[in-house]
Structure 1
Amino acid sequence: MALMALTGLAGCSSRVIPPARTQAPAHIPPPVRFAPVAQPRPAEAPRALNAVVQSLGAGFDGQVGIAIRRMDQPWTIQFDGYRKYPQQSVSKLWVAATLLDQVDRKKVAMSDPVVVKKEDLTVFHQPIRSLVGADGYATSVAGLFGRSMTASDNTANDSLLRTIGGPEAVRRFFAEKRIEEIRFGPGERLLQSRIAGIEWKQEYSQGNAFYTARANLPMDKRQKALEAYLADPIDGATPVGIVNALVKLQRGDLLSRSSTLQLVAIMRASKTGPQRLRGGLSPGWTFGHKTGTGQELQGRATGFNDVGILTAPDGTDYAVAVMIGATRKSIPERQSLMQAVTRAVIANHRP
């Protein structure tokens, strides 16, 4: 019955449903083809600057490492920049940074009192020695900080080193801040006596006692000690490692903003080495730095260094390190090399 009903319904309809009319397709525009977005090319080191650096390094009669890094770009120019060179007093910069890190952590205050006594005296350059009387010399952490960084006073620096917890405190700072390719030595007295080939005695801190003890050593022993130091300096650092650390400092990756500004300001106030890298400055450029100078033996100079932050009039910063491991060149010739590096950076600067 259901089938008959369906058949009847189908037969009752005589209307024919015409097929749907197909309209002409509208005009379809061709697909839009976008040009690929040009990716910015990574900044390249100035070729002219690189050529000058390679020429200066290769043409210098001695062991020299050079590194330059523009802080707002990823490139680094270097000549033998991955060899470890003796830092000497460049290492005072790391004592200062560790100190300010402890100031940031409220472990130390710049106003903390310190008394420097005769048993605290070290060796070589220590202008503070003339102030140390029978009762010592009363000063503060800030006072020692200023003397260490602006005058490179060895005794002031070693006193700060004791304040912050010794060499291990600096090495912990390196590890925490991921500062690589920089070593820190045992402190001025042990470092310099080891380089000379003698064992430290506190009496060497007075007058010319250290020079006399060193001069009394057989020459072959002195040469052997110096060669061992140059081959694997206990305070060694690579120029590339140093410029990378300076970039971290300037970017605020090591210290608080106030401590960063304080450290950079005192680097600019440094009075040492005015004819090293600073001697090549042009008007409007500034330079904050730390120098280092090692021992000499039979006309061979070691550890003649200058590292710092070079700032253009437009505010662009460069980290620069020139480290002379060993040479027989005169001081003016060493200074001339450093000044040439500064002038090359300035000549090739583009805002």
Structure 2
Amino acid sequence: MGLVVSRRFGRLLNGAGSSFSLPLRSLLLAPLLLLAGCQPAAPDPQAARSTPQSVSPIPVHAPSAPKPRAKPIAVAPPVIPSAASALDRRIEALGSGFRGDVGLAVRDIQTGWISHYRGLDYFPQQSVSKLWVAISAFDMADRGKLDLRGRLSVRPNDLTLFHQPIRSLATRPGGFQTDREDLLTRALTQSDNSANDKMLREVGGPDAVRATLAAKSISGIRFGPGEKGLQSRIAGLDWQASFAKGNGFYTAREALLIAQRRAAFEAYVADPVDGARPIAMVDALARLKTGELLSDASTAQMLDLMGQTRTGALRLKSGLRPGWTLSHKTGTGQILEGEQAGYNDVGILTSPEGRSYAVAVMIGRTSRPLPERMDLMRKVVRLTIAYDGELAEQKDATGAGADVR
């Protein structure tokens, strides 16, 4: 597999926001391969010690004719479609033109091409992290370790904070009787925090999710402590059960000095405990789409649930063209003095012909109006769809698809 590296690769390694394109695993391995190739061969001390002190004379023969040196083989550089180069430029222009802390990434799932802006920086996931709870649950079900049809109860002590449509059901006398599959559906399609935290406990907690990520070689993505711990920490608080009752959390948060809240907020956006790199996000989504992470049945079920997402209708989804579909997950963080810590949408775009693209728009901190953020997401989708069309035109013009892997 050939590597395709843009002319801005040097700036990428130095941590600057830039655009380059190659599969993520190649990105991670390339520096190691380069270093390995630069190491001088060490002398063999054992060979030196074992040399005999006296040896028989070596017979001298007439020198043989020198062998002709093989001519170096010319290797043509991989062909980079003009459509892909254009997508590079457009994604970088969008990212650099947005007045906020943003990371963008688009991955062509067919070829592995990645265009991105600040793709190696960590950005808060917020509710995007519900994806990893679901993958952990489906993975356990695939291995026979978890029955998704298993019944359970959701009661008031299972409630968390912020968006939790299940709250009205959990506070009924006797609680709410349901199953794990229903909780997964609520967590992914409604972004229900309490449903997600309940499922998080069912799969074994944050450490179990981190173990799933590690086992599946999903790097560049962190998993935090769950909604209770995460949202409390961002506000400068330690979680207490009373926060889930009425306005308990809001009352406790408002009682803090603004300096305390600001310090906690700044610490979070600077190094988010639930952070993810945009290129890692699109890599994981691509692997989900191609069936590398789950069984065929679980893959289909999870993508179907992501396709039913009700949140974020004016984010990535607003950029769709007729016939295109989106399986996605949104994430929205807390606001302090007009600044929001996390405003995201990530997902898999699929064309009418079946070609797919993983897309991530992750805003870490911004005070820009919502329409501007949604417009950014809409444009990323429109650029991806335009890339698909231009790539098809280029293929038709040349009579063959360019290899950009």
Structure 2 equivalent of residue 90 of structure 1: 128
What is the CA-CA distance between 1:109 and the residue it aligns to?
1.4
What is the CA-CA distance between 1:42 and the residue it aligns to?
4.9
Structure 1 equivalent of residue 138 of structure 2: 100
Structure 2 equivalent of residue 17 of structure 1: none
The gaps in structure 1 that reach 5 residues or longer are 1-35
Residues of 2 paired with 1:200 and 1:243: CA distance? Answer: 32
Letter in 2 for 1:222: R
Alignment of 1:31-46 (within 5 A): 41-44=78-81, 46=84
Structure 2 equivalent of residue 242 of structure 1: 281
Structure 1 equivalent of residue 203 of structure 2: 164
Contact 1:43 1:73 in 2 (8 A): no
Which structure is larger by alpha-carbon Rg, 1 or 2? 1
Alignment of 1:134-283 (within 5 A): 134-283=173-322
What is the CA-CA distance between 1:93 and the residue it aligns to?
0.5
Letter in 2 for 1:240: I
2:362 partner SS: strand
**Which one is further off, 264-273 or 36-45?**
36-45
Structure 2 equivalent of residue 22 of structure 1: none
**Moved segments of 4+, more than 6 Å:** 36-40
Contact 1:182 1:237 in 2 (8 A): yes
What is the CA-CA distance between 1:79 and the residue it aligns to?
0.2
Structure 1 equivalent of residue 98 of structure 2: 60
What is the CA-CA distance between 1:74 and the residue it aligns to?
2.5
Say how many residue pairs are matched: 316
Instruction: State the percentage of identical aligned residues.
Output: 50
Contact 1:151 1:270 in 2 (8 A): yes
Contact 1:43 1:75 in 2 (8 A): no
Residues of 2 paired with 1:335 and 1:102: CA distance? Answer: 35
Structure 1 equivalent of residue 357 of structure 2: 318
Contact 1:43 1:74 in 2 (8 A): no
1:110 partner SS: coil
Residues of 1 paired with 2:238 and 2:75: CA distance? Answer: 64
What is the CA-CA distance between 1:206 and the residue it aligns to?
1.8
Specify whether residues 58 and 39 from structure 1 end up closer, same or farther in structure 2 by C-alpha distance, changes over 3 A only: closer
Structure 2 equivalent of residue 347 of structure 1: 386
Structure 1 equivalent of residue 332 of structure 2: 293
Contact 1:64 1:325 in 2 (8 A): yes
Letter in 2 for 1:99: A
Q: Does 2:150 correspond to 1:112?
A: yes
Residues of 1 paired with 2:135 and 2:356: CA distance? Answer: 19
Residues of 1 paired with 2:185 and 2:265: CA distance? Answer: 31
Task: Provide TM-score, normalisation by structure 1.
Answer: 0.88
Q: Does 2:133 correspond to 1:72?
A: no
Residues of 2 paired with 1:57 and 1:278: CA distance? Answer: 19
- RMSD, aligned α-carbons: 1.5
What is the CA-CA distance between 1:40 and the residue it aligns to?
8.8
Task: Provide TM-score, normalisation by structure 2.
Answer: 0.76
Alignment of 1:21-36 (within 5 A): none
